[in-house]
A and B are shown apart, each in its own frame.
Chain A
Amino acid sequence: MSVMESEQSLQLQIRECLTGMGIFSPVDWDVLVFVYRHRASLANAEQIARMVGYPATMVRDSLKNLASLKLLRRSRASHGVNLYQFTSSGLDSPCYDYFRELLASVDNRAGRLEIIRELRKEAKKGSKWLKAG
């Protein structure tokens, strides 16, 4: 397989995984990875935002979106915080497989760049639709 073919294959694989999970923005991806790596986070959107480096409003929206996608579980609020836990919808779900594949891809620089490129592309599409709407 040539270098170009290999890159295309990676691109396709990443796109398939992201689409399969319903992730279309870099914020969603970074917040999801944060929640996954932190197992159970007892925090609010502002605290998570400080850690992942996005504005709090974007992180708040992202947390809502990920919860609606059932990729994370959000507890009731208590003293302004929630308990966020990665759910993966069961170990056998295709969603979890996609996530595992993506995590394996971000282990190397090429994979990381490809995920960012793909998500930015999707984010641009989204903003165009928003403008058109």
Chain B
Amino acid sequence: MAEGGLIRTGIAGLDAIFLGGIPRANMILVQGSAGAGKSLLGMEFIYRGITDFNENGVIVVFETSPDKVVRDAAEFGWNFGELERQDKLRIVFTSPQVLEAQLRSPDSLLLEVAAEIGARRIFIDGIGLLRTAPANGNDGPNEPDSYRELLQQVLEALQRENLTTMFSHELGGRPESTARLEIATFLADTVIELGQDRHTRLAHRSVEIVKSRGQRYVAGRHTLQIVSGQGLEVFRRVQAPDLHPVDEPTSSIKSSVIGVPALDDLIGGGFFDGSTTMVVGISGVGKTVLAAQILLESARSGKRILLVSLDEHPAQIIRNAGTLGLDLKEQMDAGMIHIFYESPQELEIDAHFARIVRTIEKFGIQRLVIDGVTSYSTALEEQRMYRDFFHALVAYTKLHLMTTVFNYENPELFGISSYMPEFPVNSIVDNIILLSLVELGSSLHRSIAVVKARGCKHQFDTREFTIGPGGITLIPVDEKANLSALSMESYSSILSRAPTRVSPRRGNGEAVSYTPSR
């Protein structure tokens, strides 16, 4: 459908899931339980219509005092009083019975008010309160049918006036309420359902397009947030399929990502641009240090990079990196390094994903580090959400040829029996780097191994590294002789949690094994 035939709600993120807007003639029903945000959505629909699209509007309320509507709107910076004074908005307080009579009447005062201000939009809050005149003093068994007729007449009248109509309907528990809602859902062209999902003690708002005649839209439940001083914001479901598919780009350019030649050699000369790498290791092994090095190397090579963390506040990340002489602050000030921190408490994954994407697009980010993936699994209750987020992020970064590094904290102290998160991602990760702690004699050593590097001829050696000024440094093979402990080459089975010393060959060529006591 041509964009001219669509009406934009102006509500942040909502038009995007409608793929641009709602067909102009559609009657829009907003349904949801009390407190789901129906009235707010209707108010913002009218407000954005006036301020963003020059379409004046009328709000009809039955139960709420219009004064409170004006007060509540002011919380978001919407000056309804001023819009009324400018004859761009009318808030009309009436009863459902009066509304019904008015809309069926050719000399309707309500429609006169709408015409006076040249209204193009109308929001009726609480259409479910419409009642037919009781035949025997109470609603009879045919009541829902009459309601259908009544609602049809009301909607017809509004359509005749060329008003784009949005009306709210409360989800009720009573059978007659459910029957009424079913009728309204059937008659409406577009149905938006607002929800409030409970997760233990948390409540998350959601929005779903149940139907919308004459258009395609992004199906499923998306996150809805009430943003202070702004209004509503819809965040597209992270794993929602892209309805405008594009060919995925591929790059054959290899770049140094860590900036340490020895590490690049280990990887096979660097990572391909747009590749995805998982760095796996126990807490304290050096994943975040490696991340800091990746940040600096990216900045040095002129590629803007973003670090996303749920664990550490930017100030702490900068301080810790600074102790190793890794000056992130300077590059942050230069706009080459960006850090995005969000608390894992009450994390709403659709919104979080949208904020990452927004940051990437705002600053032209070319590389991304997520430190670390494990925090998402603790922040999100459902593994499905966690997996969706991961897949969506990989899909996004691949589409934009962004080199991405995920840090994954493995819970095992020595050795690694599984280097994947709780769900298998092997297929979408291009490179896997294992960082491990190895107990040799009575001391702990750090080791690094590249177990997967798609399209790269990487080394299969387990190498020892140290953390010091400048970050991670691989211990050169020829320097090991100077170390007090035996070099790693003197052991086998390091990654399998059973380092076994291989003694120098005896004169007869027979090797002797020795397993150190723990």
Q: Which residues of A contact B (CB under 8 A)?
A: 36-43, 47, 75-76, 78-79, 81-83, 91
> Which of A41, A42, A83 has most chain B Cβ within 10 Å?
A42
Question: Across chains A and B, which 3 residue pairs bring their CB atoms closest together, nearest first?
Answer: A42-B94, A37-B67, A38-B93
Taken residue by residue from 79 to 117, chain B's Cβ proximity to chain A (1 for < 8 Å, 0 otherwise) reads as: 000001100001111110011011001011110110000
Is B426 part of the contact surface with A, judged by Cβ < 8 Å? no
Q: Which residue of A lies closest to B81 (CB)?
A: A39
- Chain B residues with Cβ below 8 Å from A37 are 65-67
Q: Are B66 and A39 in contact (CB under 8 A)?
A: yes
Q: Are B91 and A40 in contact (CB under 8 A)?
A: yes
A36, A43, A91: which contacts B98 (Cβ < 8 A)? A43
Distance between A59 CB and nearest chain B CB, rounded to angstroms: 15
Q: Which residue of A lies closest to B92 (CB)?
A: A40
Q: Which residue of A lies closest to B85 (CB)?
A: A91
B93, B95, B105: which contacts A78 (Cβ < 8 A)? B105
Is B70 part of the contact surface with A, judged by Cβ < 8 Å? yes
B66, B98, B112: which contacts A79 (Cβ < 8 A)? B98
- Chain B residues with Cβ below 8 Å from A43 are 93-95, 98
Q: Which residue of A lies closest to B95 (CB)?
A: A47
- Chain B residues with Cβ below 8 Å from A47 are 95, 98
Q: Which residue of B lies closest to A76 (CB)?
A: B109
Q: Are B90 and A39 in contact (CB under 8 A)?
A: yes
Q: Which residues of B contact A (CB under 8 A)?
A: 65-67, 70, 84-85, 90-95, 98-99, 101-102, 105, 107-110, 112-113
Q: Tell whether A40 pairs with B108 under 8 Å between CB atoms, given A79-B98, A79-B101.
A: no
**Apart from A36-B67, A42-B92, A42-B99, what 15 extra A-B contacts exist at CB < 8 Å?**
A38-B65, A39-B66, A40-B66, A40-B113, A43-B94, A43-B95, A47-B98, A75-B109, A78-B108, A79-B98, A79-B105, A81-B109, A83-B92, A83-B109, A83-B110
Q: Are B90 and A40 in contact (CB under 8 A)?
A: yes
The answer for the CA separation of A37 and B105 in the assembled complex, in Å, is 27
The answer for the CA separation of A39 and B113 in the assembled complex, in Å, is 13
Q: Are B67 and A78 in contact (CB under 8 A)?
A: no
Q: Which residue of A lies closest to B100 (CB)?
A: A79
- Chain A residues with Cβ below 8 Å from B93 are 38-43
Q: Can you spell out 25 A-B residue pairs with CB atoms less than 8 angstroms apart? A: A37-B65, A37-B67, A38-B66, A38-B67, A38-B93, A39-B84, A39-B93, A40-B66, A40-B91, A41-B92, A42-B93, A42-B99, A42-B102, A43-B93, A43-B94, A47-B98, A75-B109, A76-B109, A78-B105, A78-B108, A79-B98, A79-B105, A81-B109, A82-B109, A83-B113
The answer for the CA separation of A38 and B61 in the assembled complex, in Å, is 10
